[in-house]
Amino acid sequence: MTSRSTRTKLIATGPVLFVFLAIASFAGMASAQTALDLRGKSVDPFHSSRGKITVLVFARIDCPITNRYAPLLQEMNDAHKDKVAFWFVYPDKKTTAEEISEHLRQFSISIPALRDPSHSLVKHASVTITPEVAVFDSGGQLLYHGRIDNLYEIAGRSRPAPTTHELRDVLDAAIAGKPSPLASAPAVGCYISDLE
């Protein structure tokens, strides 16, 4: 983590009195953004992807929409290996590491996977859906969260082919050092809030 950013939040505690509360920087918070790798070891994906753009792909093993994106995500991962670190993140605490390994094997995914049973990464990335991607710059700043593209209009209803490509556009801009073309776009799939 090289650059530091500070966010402030305004909290109203009374009709007249305002208190400025400094929220810790991403760098400072990084230790809190941990999840478990498939061996049960605590991993901070931002630390592990240092210097790279980080893409968290929130996934679920029984979500067909997630599955349908596997080839595209793997392809993007392979194309941008040097500059972008992809992670699959499974927020369902009931899903075991073995089931995740099997899921990755079935869909030929070599992207590393994390379990996020405490939803620490879910909250950090402001995501609500699987599949939803969150893109962070090399400083850990959230650039974008939302759909990969618009293949699905809504769960159960897909287009013949996507006509917008949000993840691709955000990554291209980030790699080129340009500002993100958009901050979010609604994702379509299964609700993370349906998981315990």
In whole angstroms, the minimum distance from the beta carbon of 163 to another protein comes to 3
- The nearer residue to another protein, 46 or 152, going by C-beta atoms, is 152
H or E segment at 20? strand 18-23
191 touches another protein (CB under 8 A): yes
- The nearer residue to another protein, 15 or 156, going by C-beta atoms, is 156
* Cα atoms in the Cβ-side hemisphere of radius 13 Å centred on 185: 21
At 57 the three-state DSSP class reads strand
Q: How far apart are CA 184 and CA 147, in angstroms?
A: 8
39 touches another protein (CB under 8 A): no
62 touches another protein (CB under 8 A): yes
Whole-angstrom Cα Rg for the chain: 17
At 112 the three-state DSSP class reads coil
101 touches another protein (CB under 8 A): no
- The nearer residue to another protein, 78 or 153, going by C-beta atoms, is 153
Segment near another protein (CB under 8 A); pick from 31-39, 46-54, 112-120, 159-167: 159-167
b or e along 67-95 (b: 16 or more beta carbons within 10 Å of the residue's beta carbon)? bbbbebbbebbeebeeebbbbbbbbbeeb
176 touches another protein (CB under 8 A): no
Positions that interact with another protein (CB under 8 A): 62-64, 66-72, 92, 106-108, 150, 153-161, 163, 190-191, 193-196
